[in-house]
Amino acid sequence: MHPVASASGVAPPDETARREALAALPGGTYGRLEDLAAWLAACQGRAPARAPRRVRAVLFAADHGIAAAGVSAHAPGETQVRVAAVRDGSAPVCRFAETADAGLRVIDVGLGAPVEGDARDDRAALRGGGRLDVEDVMTAEQAAAAVRAGREVADEEVDEGADLLVAGELAVGVSTPTAVLAAAMTGREPVAVVGRGSGIDDRVWMVKAAAVRDALWRARSLGRDPMALLRVAGGADLAALTGFLAQAARRRTPVVLDGAATAVAALLADTDAPGARAWWVAGSRCTEPAQAVALELLGLDPLLDLQMRAGQGTGALTAVGLVRAAVHAAG
């Protein structure tokens, strides 16, 4: 019998399976791999855990109005180029997915203009988004539609047999709203959450920090309300990730988180669906301080510390091999 769901609809992983898995493990010989094996057993509701059979990576793509303010080393139009590269199989992340033996899907939830691809992967809640330092990024209806798109995609993947999900984003400028949301959710000052993103210099960092400061001022009355924060200073990709992560937990499906954007979306998702964090592991530590503060609050320690800044699910896909290796820790 599965554990009973809480009022939020999120049931915890199976603690009996976790205890049985730990009892069969060699008591620390394999370090954190043993904890990972026990977590997977709890998520699967069986001990010992079995290796994931269908791993699916989902990237949510959107454009951010703040990118036009020069907060990134890349031009705003680069997002569409990257989406096209993923869809034609030429993007580096495609090689990461192949190595992890994972299916890969990129969902348009807010690109400024659509990119050719499977029609079911066009879930745009809006085309582009507002500039977060001076205006709301989305309407309430658009934010709700983006969250709903994330939930629907999670349902589709689980219904099609996914037993391990990888969550990521694909968007130029996403580290700016990510920093705003991280600060708003944790009470940190802008300087504590603003990183170098795509590799920006000091001048661009100051532009980015000012944008984060101004967005936090605009969001000062919202508290830790996930939907309000996503509407005012988030983005369609972050909203879709929030819905995706919460729904995956409701569907009892484990997820490997990627970088800062997914960590901060996870913080929002766990606020919306308390207890969802038990269904996630953090894949790899990235260079963004927003990831560190979000994971600290979630109580998640990345499996790898590779200091990657690529995003696009690459850190999480790299960690999938560790999840598979963990099932062999019991011998």
Domain ranges of the chain: 55-318
pLDDT above 90 (res 46): yes
Mean pLDDT, rounded, for 113-140:
92
Q: Quote the CA–CA distance of 84 and 88 in Å, as a whole number.
A: 6
Of how many residues is the chain composed?
A: 331
Look at residue 4 in the predicted model and tell me its pLDDT. Answer: 53
pLDDT above 70 (res 290): yes
Domain formed by 55-318, architecture: 3-Layer(aba) Sandwich (3.40)
Task: State the distance between the two ends of the chain, measured CA to CA, in whole angstroms.
Answer: 27
Q: What percent of the chain has pLDDT over 70?
A: 97
Neighbours of 111 (CB within 10 A): 22
With bands split at pLDDT 50, 70 and 90, how would you rate the model's confidence at 25? confident
pLDDT above 80 (res 330): no
The residues, any chain, with a CB within 8 Å of residue 286's CB and separated by 6 or more, are: 258, 259, 260, 307, 308, 309, 311, 315
76: enclosing H helix or E strand? none
pLDDT above 80 (res 198): no
Look at residue 5 in the predicted model and tell me its pLDDT. Answer: 54
Look at residue 56 in the predicted model and tell me its pLDDT. Answer: 98
pLDDT above 60 (res 245): yes
DSSP code, position 122: B
User: Looking at per-residue confidence, does 101 or 117 come out higher?
Assistant: 101
Q: What is the mean pLDDT of the chain?
A: 93
Neighbours of 197 (CB within 10 A): 26
pLDDT above 70 (res 44): yes
Name the phi and psi angles at 62, rounded to 5: -160, 160
Look at residue 331 in the predicted model and tell me its pLDDT. Answer: 61
DSSP code, position 7: T
With bands split at pLDDT 50, 70 and 90, how would you rate the model's confidence at 222? very high
| pTM attached to this predicted model | 0.95
Q: Is 96 helix (H, G, I), strand (E, B) or coil?
A: helix
